[in-house]
Structure 1
Amino acid sequence: MDKGQNTGGLMSSAGLVRYFDSEDDRGIRIDPKTVIAFGVLLGVLVQLLTFVA
């Protein structure tokens, strides 16, 4: 390996960092509390259906 070559990891992941840092205004937005509430309600529903059946 030459001393002048850069095989570091930062340059290889630079595109991914830029991609995930950008925000898209066209996508749907869901509040994190809504996702957690939906998950809890779904879990309760499954437990109730298991108890009844």
Structure 2
Amino acid sequence: MDRGQNSGGLMSSAGLVRYFDAEDSNAIRIDPKTVIATGIMLGVVIQLLIFVS
């Protein structure tokens, strides 16, 4: 890589960090525990369907 080239590192990701740090009042908020519980329940249902078939 040339010394004159910018590798992009932190400067290119600074906009994304600023974008994701912003709170949107219209955004859907889901509790992380709800996401984990839904994943576990989906896994149990799939295992039961595999066991039954």
- Which range, TM-score by smaller chain? 0.7 to 0.9
Instruction: Find runs of 4+ consecutive structure 1 residues off by over 6 angstroms.
Output: none
In the comparison of the two structures, how many residue pairs are matched? Answer: 49
Query: Structure 2 CA distance, aligned partners of 1:43 and 1:10?
Result: 38
1:5-48 deviation per Cα after TM superposition (whole angstroms, max 9, x unaligned): 8x474433322221111011101110000000000000000000
Unpaired segments of 5 or more residues in structure 1? none
Q: What TM-score comes out, normalization by structure 2 length?
A: 0.74
Measured on the aligned residues, the alpha-carbon RMSD in Å equals: 1.9
The unaligned stretches of length 5 or more in structure 2 are none
CA distance in 1: counterparts of 2:28 and 2:44, whole angstroms: 26
1:46 and 1:10 map into 2 onto residues whose CA distance is 42
Q: What amino acid sits opposite 1:32 in the alignment?
A: P
When Rg is computed on C-alpha atoms for both structures, the one with the higher figure is 1
Identical aligned residues as a percent: 73
Q: Give, in whole Å, the separation in 1 of the partners of 2:43 and 2:9.
A: 41
